[in-house]
Amino acid sequence: MSLASISSHSTRTPLSAVPDAAPATAPAVRAAVRAVPNGTEARGFVLYVGVDEADAAAAGTSLGALVQALKTLTTQLVPEAESYAAVALAPEGAGGRAIDVVRLALQEPAALAKHRNAHADEELDRAASGVVIDISRKRVVLDNHPAALTFKEFELLQYLVLREGKTVDRQEIIQALWSADTADEVPNERTIDVHVRRLRSKLGGYDEIVRTVRGVGYRFDRHADVTIRYASTPSPDLF
Protein backbone atom coordinates (compact mmCIF):
# COMPACT_ATOMS: atom_id res chain seq x y z
CA MET A 1 0.00 0.00 0.00
CA SER A 2 1.24 3.49 -0.71
CA LEU A 3 0.26 7.13 -0.63
CA ALA A 4 -0.09 9.88 -3.15
CA SER A 5 -1.35 13.43 -2.85
CA ILE A 6 -4.14 15.20 -4.66
CA SER A 7 -4.40 18.95 -5.10
CA SER A 8 -7.56 20.95 -4.57
CA HIS A 9 -7.86 21.46 -8.34
CA SER A 10 -7.46 17.82 -9.33
CA THR A 11 -10.01 16.34 -11.71
CA ARG A 12 -8.38 12.92 -11.98
CA THR A 13 -10.77 10.09 -11.19
CA PRO A 14 -8.64 6.91 -10.86
CA LEU A 15 -7.83 7.64 -7.22
CA SER A 16 -8.68 6.25 -3.81
CA ALA A 17 -8.84 9.56 -2.00
CA VAL A 18 -8.65 10.11 1.69
CA PRO A 19 -9.25 13.81 2.42
CA ASP A 20 -8.76 15.88 5.49
CA ALA A 21 -12.21 17.36 5.45
CA ALA A 22 -14.97 18.61 7.71
CA PRO A 23 -18.25 16.79 8.29
CA ALA A 24 -21.40 18.17 6.70
CA THR A 25 -22.17 20.66 9.48
CA ALA A 26 -20.15 22.63 11.98
CA PRO A 27 -22.20 21.46 15.02
CA ALA A 28 -21.37 17.84 14.14
CA VAL A 29 -17.67 18.70 14.32
CA ARG A 30 -18.04 20.20 17.80
CA ALA A 31 -19.98 17.16 19.01
CA ALA A 32 -17.39 14.71 17.68
CA VAL A 33 -14.27 16.41 19.04
CA ARG A 34 -12.98 14.68 22.16
CA ALA A 35 -11.31 16.40 25.07
CA VAL A 36 -7.55 16.58 24.68
CA PRO A 37 -5.09 15.92 27.52
CA ASN A 38 -3.86 18.81 29.61
CA GLY A 39 -0.94 20.61 28.04
CA THR A 40 -2.04 19.87 24.48
CA GLU A 41 -4.29 21.55 21.95
CA ALA A 42 -6.27 20.26 18.98
CA ARG A 43 -4.78 21.52 15.72
CA GLY A 44 -6.97 19.68 13.25
CA PHE A 45 -8.36 16.25 12.50
CA VAL A 46 -8.23 13.41 10.00
CA LEU A 47 -11.29 11.95 8.31
CA TYR A 48 -10.71 8.50 6.84
CA VAL A 49 -12.95 7.77 3.84
CA GLY A 50 -13.17 4.29 2.35
CA VAL A 51 -14.59 4.36 -1.18
CA ASP A 52 -13.28 2.96 -4.43
CA GLU A 53 -13.67 4.27 -7.97
CA ALA A 54 -16.51 1.92 -8.83
CA ASP A 55 -18.60 2.93 -5.80
CA ALA A 56 -18.02 6.61 -6.50
CA ALA A 57 -19.03 6.18 -10.15
CA ALA A 58 -22.14 4.25 -9.13
CA ALA A 59 -23.12 7.23 -6.95
CA GLY A 60 -22.74 9.56 -9.93
CA THR A 61 -19.47 11.19 -8.89
CA SER A 62 -15.74 10.60 -8.92
CA LEU A 63 -13.11 10.43 -6.22
CA GLY A 64 -11.52 13.65 -7.40
CA ALA A 65 -14.87 15.44 -7.26
CA LEU A 66 -15.57 14.05 -3.80
CA VAL A 67 -12.25 15.33 -2.51
CA GLN A 68 -12.85 18.74 -4.01
CA ALA A 69 -16.36 18.97 -2.51
CA LEU A 70 -15.06 18.19 0.97
CA LYS A 71 -12.21 20.68 0.66
CA THR A 72 -14.65 23.33 -0.56
CA LEU A 73 -17.00 22.66 2.36
CA THR A 74 -14.12 23.05 4.80
CA THR A 75 -13.24 26.42 3.33
CA GLN A 76 -16.86 27.55 3.46
CA LEU A 77 -17.18 26.63 7.15
CA VAL A 78 -13.77 27.93 8.20
CA PRO A 79 -12.19 30.23 5.59
CA GLU A 80 -8.84 30.21 7.40
CA ALA A 81 -8.61 26.42 7.44
CA GLU A 82 -5.97 24.67 5.38
CA SER A 83 -6.57 21.17 4.08
CA TYR A 84 -4.51 18.43 2.53
CA ALA A 85 -5.80 15.30 0.86
CA ALA A 86 -3.82 12.07 0.56
CA VAL A 87 -4.48 9.08 -1.64
CA ALA A 88 -4.35 5.49 -0.39
CA LEU A 89 -3.22 3.06 -3.10
CA ALA A 90 -3.32 -0.72 -2.98
CA PRO A 91 -2.45 -3.43 -5.52
CA GLU A 92 -5.32 -4.35 -7.83
CA GLY A 93 -7.41 -7.18 -6.45
CA ALA A 94 -5.92 -6.82 -2.96
CA GLY A 95 -9.40 -7.18 -1.43
CA GLY A 96 -10.45 -6.16 2.05
CA ARG A 97 -12.62 -3.27 3.17
CA ALA A 98 -11.71 0.04 1.59
CA ILE A 99 -11.70 1.85 4.95
CA ASP A 100 -9.24 -0.68 6.39
CA VAL A 101 -6.94 -0.24 3.39
CA VAL A 102 -7.07 3.53 3.84
CA ARG A 103 -6.36 3.46 7.57
CA LEU A 104 -3.44 1.09 7.09
CA ALA A 105 -1.94 3.02 4.19
CA LEU A 106 -2.16 6.25 6.17
CA GLN A 107 -0.58 4.47 9.17
CA GLU A 108 -3.42 5.02 11.58
CA PRO A 109 -2.08 3.63 14.91
CA ALA A 110 -4.95 1.25 15.71
CA ALA A 111 -4.90 -0.17 12.17
CA LEU A 112 -1.13 -0.68 12.32
CA ALA A 113 -1.40 -2.47 15.66
CA LYS A 114 -4.12 -4.78 14.32
CA HIS A 115 -2.04 -5.48 11.21
CA ARG A 116 1.04 -6.34 13.28
CA ASN A 117 -0.96 -8.63 15.54
CA ALA A 118 -2.46 -10.43 12.55
CA HIS A 119 0.99 -11.06 11.09
CA ALA A 120 2.28 -12.19 14.48
CA ASP A 121 -0.59 -14.69 14.62
CA GLU A 122 0.29 -15.97 11.15
CA GLU A 123 3.95 -16.41 12.10
CA LEU A 124 2.93 -18.14 15.30
CA ASP A 125 0.63 -20.53 13.48
CA ARG A 126 3.35 -21.41 10.97
CA ALA A 127 5.59 -22.87 13.65
CA ALA A 128 7.02 -26.09 12.18
CA SER A 129 6.78 -27.98 15.45
CA GLY A 130 6.10 -27.54 19.12
CA VAL A 131 3.27 -26.32 21.29
CA VAL A 132 1.70 -22.86 21.14
CA ILE A 133 -0.53 -22.06 24.11
CA ASP A 134 -2.39 -18.95 23.03
CA ILE A 135 -4.08 -17.53 26.10
CA SER A 136 -5.13 -14.40 24.22
CA ARG A 137 -7.23 -16.44 21.78
CA LYS A 138 -8.03 -19.40 24.02
CA ARG A 139 -6.49 -22.12 21.90
CA VAL A 140 -3.62 -24.59 21.68
CA VAL A 141 -1.68 -25.39 18.50
CA LEU A 142 0.33 -28.62 18.27
CA ASP A 143 2.84 -28.86 15.42
CA ASN A 144 0.83 -26.25 13.53
CA HIS A 145 -2.50 -28.06 14.06
CA PRO A 146 -5.19 -26.81 16.47
CA ALA A 147 -5.83 -29.09 19.44
CA ALA A 148 -9.51 -29.92 20.00
CA LEU A 149 -9.67 -28.90 23.64
CA THR A 150 -12.98 -28.28 25.34
CA PHE A 151 -13.54 -25.00 27.16
CA LYS A 152 -12.97 -26.68 30.54
CA GLU A 153 -9.83 -28.44 29.34
CA PHE A 154 -8.37 -25.15 28.16
CA GLU A 155 -9.34 -23.49 31.46
CA LEU A 156 -7.49 -26.25 33.32
CA LEU A 157 -4.38 -25.91 31.17
CA GLN A 158 -4.47 -22.12 31.41
CA TYR A 159 -4.75 -22.28 35.19
CA LEU A 160 -1.61 -24.39 35.39
CA VAL A 161 0.26 -22.32 32.77
CA LEU A 162 -0.38 -19.07 34.64
CA ARG A 163 1.22 -20.72 37.70
CA GLU A 164 4.20 -22.12 35.84
CA GLY A 165 6.48 -24.22 38.04
CA LYS A 166 4.03 -24.23 40.97
CA THR A 167 2.34 -27.44 42.09
CA VAL A 168 -1.42 -26.90 42.26
CA ASP A 169 -3.44 -29.32 44.37
CA ARG A 170 -6.71 -30.79 43.16
CA GLN A 171 -8.86 -28.95 45.69
CA GLU A 172 -7.53 -25.59 44.49
CA ILE A 173 -8.39 -26.51 40.91
CA ILE A 174 -11.93 -27.45 41.93
CA GLN A 175 -12.46 -24.21 43.83
CA ALA A 176 -10.99 -22.08 41.04
CA LEU A 177 -12.69 -23.67 38.03
CA TRP A 178 -15.94 -25.06 39.38
CA SER A 179 -16.97 -23.19 42.52
CA ALA A 180 -18.82 -20.49 40.54
CA ASP A 181 -20.36 -23.00 38.15
CA THR A 182 -24.11 -23.42 38.37
CA ALA A 183 -24.57 -25.53 35.25
CA ASP A 184 -21.93 -28.22 35.92
CA GLU A 185 -21.80 -30.46 38.93
CA VAL A 186 -18.81 -29.72 41.14
CA PRO A 187 -16.37 -32.62 40.67
CA ASN A 188 -14.39 -34.50 43.27
CA GLU A 189 -10.62 -34.98 43.25
CA ARG A 190 -10.89 -38.22 41.27
CA THR A 191 -12.83 -36.38 38.57
CA ILE A 192 -9.99 -33.86 38.30
CA ASP A 193 -7.67 -36.75 37.50
CA VAL A 194 -10.01 -37.75 34.66
CA HIS A 195 -10.00 -34.20 33.28
CA VAL A 196 -6.21 -34.14 33.38
CA ARG A 197 -5.97 -37.49 31.58
CA ARG A 198 -8.26 -36.22 28.83
CA LEU A 199 -6.24 -33.03 28.52
CA ARG A 200 -3.01 -34.97 28.26
CA SER A 201 -4.44 -37.27 25.62
CA LYS A 202 -5.21 -34.23 23.45
CA LEU A 203 -1.71 -32.84 23.95
CA GLY A 204 -0.34 -35.94 22.23
CA GLY A 205 3.44 -36.17 22.34
CA TYR A 206 3.60 -33.04 24.47
CA ASP A 207 1.57 -34.44 27.36
CA GLU A 208 4.58 -34.21 29.70
CA ILE A 209 4.13 -30.43 30.00
CA VAL A 210 1.42 -31.26 32.57
CA ARG A 211 3.25 -33.07 35.34
CA THR A 212 1.78 -35.16 38.14
CA VAL A 213 3.21 -34.42 41.57
CA ARG A 214 2.36 -37.63 43.37
CA GLY A 215 0.15 -37.17 46.40
CA VAL A 216 -0.24 -33.41 45.79
CA GLY A 217 -1.56 -32.34 42.41
CA TYR A 218 -0.32 -31.06 39.06
CA ARG A 219 2.27 -28.67 37.68
CA PHE A 220 2.96 -27.06 34.31
CA ASP A 221 6.56 -27.38 33.12
CA ARG A 222 7.65 -25.33 30.14
CA HIS A 223 9.96 -26.96 27.58
CA ALA A 224 12.04 -25.38 24.86
CA ASP A 225 9.41 -26.36 22.30
CA VAL A 226 6.58 -24.63 24.18
CA THR A 227 5.52 -21.06 23.33
CA ILE A 228 3.05 -19.18 25.50
CA ARG A 229 1.22 -16.22 24.11
CA TYR A 230 -0.22 -14.16 26.93
CA ALA A 231 -3.27 -11.92 26.77
CA SER A 232 -2.70 -8.15 26.60
CA THR A 233 -4.56 -7.74 29.91
CA PRO A 234 -4.06 -9.78 33.08
CA SER A 235 -6.04 -12.98 33.38
CA PRO A 236 -8.91 -12.58 35.87
CA ASP A 237 -7.90 -15.80 37.63
CA LEU A 238 -4.35 -14.65 38.39
CA PHE A 239 -3.87 -12.50 41.47
In the chain, what is the straight-line distance between the N-terminal and C-terminal CA atoms, in Å? Answer: 43
Q: Where residue 157 sits, what CATH number does that domain have? A: 1.10.10.10
Instruction: Using alpha carbons, select from 223, 189, 230 the residue that is nearest to residue 208.
Output: 223
Judge whether 234 lies within some domain. Answer: no
What is the pTM for the complete model shown?
0.47
Judge whether 223 lies within some domain. Answer: yes
What distance separates the 2 farthest-apart alpha carbons in the chain?
81
Note whether 132 and 100 are same-domain residues: no
Is the model more confident about 15 or about 138? 138
Q: For residue 78, what is the enclosing H or E element? A: none
The last residue of one of the domains, among 115, 139, 172, is 115
Q: Residue 64 sits in which domain range?
A: 2-115
pLDDT at 218 over 90: yes
Judge whether 235 lies within some domain. Answer: no
Instruction: Using alpha carbons, select from 46, 45, 53 the residue that is nearest to residue 17.
Output: 53
Helices 151-161 and 189-203: crossing angle, nearest 10°?
90
Note whether 106 and 159 are same-domain residues: no
Q: Residue 193: phi, psi to the nearest 5?
A: -60, -40
Q: How many domains does the chain have?
A: 2
Per-residue pLDDT band for 88 (boundaries 50, 70, 90) equals confident
Note whether 142 and 178 are same-domain residues: yes
Note whether 160 and 78 are same-domain residues: no
Note whether 103 and 58 are same-domain residues: yes
Is the model more confident about 114 or about 146? 146
